[in-house]
Amino acid sequence: MKPGKVSLIGAGPGDPGLLTIKGRDCLESADVVIYDYLANPVLLGYARPDAELIYVGKSRGHHSVPQDQINQMLVDKAAAGLNVARLKGGDPYVFGRGGEEASLLHRHNIPFEVVPGVTAGFAAAAYAGIPLTHRDITTSLALLTGHERPERKLSNLDWEKLATGLGTLIFYMGMTNLKMIGEKLIEHGRPADTPVAVVQWATLPRQRTLTGRLDEIADQVAAAKIAPPAVIIIGEVVRYREELRWYDNLPRFGRRFLITRPRAQAASFVALLQAQGAETICIPTIEIAPPDDWKPCDQALSQLNNYAGLILTSANGVDAFFDRLSSQNLDLRALAGVEIIAVGPKTAKAIEKHGLKPDFVPQSYRAEGVVDELLARGVNGKRYLYPRTEIARRLIPDSLTKGGARVDAPIVYRTIAPEGKQEMIRHLLESGELDAICFSSSSTFDNLHTLFGEELHQLKKKTAFFSIGPLTSETIRKHDFEVALEPENSTLDDLVMAMVEYYCDREE
């Protein structure tokens, strides 16, 4: 059997946005994903739904899977013909033991590739506002590990060269030995007042940065209760932090939001929140599926010239309708003379992507707005096509029918709970670090509640629930949850602005 390939992927230090495009592509094509403690589990969302996910994480004082077993696992999975993504925190070849794993794969004739990642030292410095080199201060730096192998003790390092021969020092895994590191450097010539920065959970909203003198930093860290994972940066460049800090100065820094729809459908929403310094984690709780039966829709498509208007109420409905139109060998000419009605601006933009401009968008971006404006214009004797989701309310067809219209409402898509997302979401819920969950529809909440039930109730005092609009809010409240925020208009852009105001009010 031809062996599969192993991709040793650097996941970066924590911010999922720092994963490289090649790393993402490897995850998307892997049969097996073997991941570490410091690899953000949110990245598992790139894996195929049928991929095997294996956690082998190690943290200080606890080894889930010994390294030799991890090595053998890589060999065994690849030898079975599977493509393996080995997801490692930071960079595989910077204190990541990637070299050991690659050597074993080479000895067993297993094809492998190395996908570099942003190493924690570089990322910690950048997100803390510290340039590791600066032509006015230093052009040299060293990366060191404060804890690698028991037999290679820190006391065996050439402390004199480290103290006097290099500008910036970056220690990984050095928190346990921080006091000794300071003492050794001072003993061998580094000034006691050399500035030091300790950056914990670099690049994540929980990032903490503590600065101090080399002779005092260990006591300050102990008093502040800063624990691993953390990076230690020693050198005059640390003085630039107050001038160049940017990440922890952002207005929503430290806020963490779960977005319950796919990133592609919430791109502008995510971008606006990230620009505020918030971490946005997109894990959809709904998935779009075709209807059980296309016959009602196909019958309507065969007689489009009989309709006065086409009513579209969501981007998903727009895409499903036009995809089906194309599959029936029809194009936009089939809609000649049919009034195109969009429930709101987002739906209108989705229609425009298919080459049409809607004829009207109601002032109120809800089904009620469509009904009110159509009834005001008169619908008696007219026929409307309303392609919808399986769980859509009957408001539009029932109201227009009472007004004398005929409405055909074929199902063009269903929303179902996605598979393979439960563990990622559970990790976030159990961490207690979610400031809010943003729900963009009733389905996104219903599916989350179905998955977790009572576990979700444990969040009541820790995590706010933000709703896109009245219908979603009604669904949330029906399950005895509070809605902390609902924008005046039911759009994601309005939700972002409402969120900004929500936190501004609480910080004043």
Within its chain, how far is the Cα of 470 from the centroid? 26
Tell me if residue 58 is catalytic: yes
305: how many CB neighbours lie within 10 A of its CB? 10
Return d(Cα 269, Cα 257) in angstroms, integer: 11
Judging by beta carbons within 10 Å of its beta carbon (0-12, 13-18, 19+), is residue 376 exposed, middle or buried?
exposed
H/E segment holding residue 405: none
Return d(Cα 471, Cα 449) in angstroms, integer: 16
Tell me if residue 76 is catalytic: no
Q: Looking at 300-360, which runs of residues are DSSP E strands?
A: 309-312, 339-342
Catalytic position from the list 25, 58, 372, 493: 58
Strands 168-172 and 230-234: antiparallel
H/E segment holding residue 250: none
H/E segment holding residue 181: helix 178-187
Catalytic position from the list 15, 36, 215, 435: 36
Distant-in-sequence contacts of 301-307, Cβ < 8 A, 24+ apart: 301/325, 301/328, 301/330, 301/334, 302/328, 304/330, 304/334, 304/335, 304/338, 304/385, 305/334, 305/336, 305/337, 305/338, 306/383, 307/338, 307/383, 307/384, 307/385, 307/408
Q: Decide: 213 and 191 in contact? Cβ < 8 Å.
A: no
Return d(Cα 432, Cα 114) in angstroms, integer: 34
Encoded tokens for 477: 């409240």
Encoded tokens for 103: 């050597």
- Scan for tokens 């809609």, then name that residue: 335
User: Which residue type, as a one-letter code, is found at position 466?
Assistant: F
Return d(Cα 162, Cα 180) in angstroms, integer: 14
Return d(Cα 194, Cα 190) in angstroms, integer: 7
With a CB cutoff of 8 Å and minimum separation 6, the contacts of 201 are 14, 207, 208, 229, 230
Task: Report residue 162: phi and psi, to 5°.
Answer: -65, -40
Encoded tokens for 190: 């580094």
Angle in degrees, CA 325, 328, 333, rounded to 5: 55
Return d(Cα 120, Cα 123) in angstroms, integer: 5
For 174, the 3-state DSSP assignment is: coil
Catalytic residues: 36, 58
